[in-house]
Amino acid sequence: MTPSSDVRAHRAEGAGIGVERQTVSRRAILRKALALSGCSLFSSVLAAAAYAQDAGSGPAIAALPVRTGPRPGAWVVLLGTRGGPGLEVNRAQTASAVVVDGQPYLIDCGYGALRQMVASNVGYLQTSTIFFTHLHDDHTGDLAALLSYQWTNGKTSATDAYGPYGTARMVAAAVDFFRANVEIRTADEGRTVDVDKQFHGHDVAAADAPVPMFRDERVNVTGIENTHYPARSKANMPHRSLALRVDTEDRSIVFAGDTAYSSNVVKLARGADLFVCEVVDPTVLQQAQERAKEAAAAGNPNNIFRHVADTHCSPQDVARMAAEAGVKTVVLNHQVAAPSQGTIAYPATAFIQGMRPTFGGEVIVGQDLMVL
């Protein structure tokens, strides 16, 4: 099998997971994730765990080839698919990695992202480029932990983060958060890496046309402003929210970020292979609209319910953007479902049906650690 046919075979396998079976075995995800990178500190531990699980499943799985190098091509790892600032043990907050020829690029870094990088074998020490769609804490919560453990656990090269207004200040503040640790270990352990020269944040302009954000030999990343922040809020703050497009040699992947329907996102996503988009259960949106009216009547017009109702996507909104942009595959992340529906059994079928018939293409309801 040639390297390229190997890639196609595995990609087809990965892309079929969320469509045909909405529950994915943890072992299958882990096995796929293990193949992404051969360089994590934890790969041997996880490999041992995976093969221990496989051993109980029969001889066919025990014959899996051992991969020693990075898998070629571009892959998306859904590190966290939970939408919003709530916390739970079964899902991490929003974060994804695009891994290109074994080199990871991180998109958002919500709470749990670092642990999921370890679990999925996306090397956190090899991650040198981070992108933020926006600076809500369900997209940034693990940044200080990630940078701190990069420094402590031996990364010596630079890490750069790119995002909307406030990113540079946030990275500097994250470094300040663990400065005591740096001072202690520098004095006590003879550390020599200068933390202020290692970590850098970059503010990127938000516009109604794609803005170049980053380019290297593997990826070309552009951003465009989405509709997560309404005009009434933007009038009172400099903060903006972005959708991101990552183009690699073999794939184009768009992360819509948190957003309501956005013609800019459609523009950015035109013809993309993968359209990774947030989604909110319509029941939650309806409840939010009702509670927003109640809160406004009680004298608080800018309440969180109005935020949820006005600045996020129903399945129909996702479908409309996907259809207008002509994307091949939609991947739902940042999923918000009604509490009564529990924290594990998300309404995968409802999300997919809510997108029909507007979008007739492939829909994958993302799960944590899924590899696409």
Contact between 77 and 96 (Cβ < 8 Å): yes
Please report, for residues 244, 264, 274, 355, 356, the alpha-carbon distance to residue 227 in angstroms, rounded to integers and kept in the order given. Answer: 13, 8, 20, 20, 23
Using the minimum distance from each CB to Zn ion, give the nearer residue, 125 or 243.
243
The single residue among 136, 155, 307, 312 that binds Zn ion, judged by CB under 5 A, is 136
In whole angstroms, the minimum distance from the beta carbon of 138 to Zn ion comes to 4
Q: Which CB, 127 or 259, lies closer to Zn ion?
A: 259
Residue 258 makes contact with Zn ion by CB under 5 A? yes
Total residues contacting Zn ion by CB under 5 A comes to: 3
Q: How far is the CB of 192 from Zn ion (least distance, A)?
A: 38
198 CB contacts (<8 Å, ≥6 apart)? 151, 155, 156, 157, 158, 159
Scan residues 153-192 and list those touching Zn ion (CB under 5 A).
Answer: none
Per CB under 5 A, 142 contacts Zn ion: no
Q: Which stretch binds Zn ion (CB under 5 A): 37-45, 136-144, 184-192, 346-354?
A: 136-144
Cβ neighbourhood burial of 231 (10 Å; 0-12, 13-18, 19+): exposed
Q: Does 108 sit near Zn ion (CB under 5 A)? A: no
Rule CB under 5 A: say whether 138 interacts with Zn ion: yes
CA 169 centroid distance within chain: 22
Decide whether 258 or 281 has the Cβ nearer to Zn ion.
258
Q: Where are the beta strands (DSSP E) in the chain?
A: 74-80, 95-100, 103-107, 129-131, 159-163, 199-203, 211-215, 220-225, 242-247, 252-255, 274-280, 329-336, 362-365
Interatomic CA distance for residues 351 and 18, integer angstroms: 12
Smallest separation (angstroms) from Zn ion to the CB of 228? 6
C-beta of 258 vs 310, nearer to Zn ion: 258
CB nearer Zn ion, residue 162 or residue 229: 229
- Contact flag: residue 310 with Zn ion (CB under 5 A): no
Question: Shortest approach of Zn ion to residue 137 CB, angstroms?
Answer: 9
Residues that bind Zn ion (CB under 5 A): 136, 138, 258
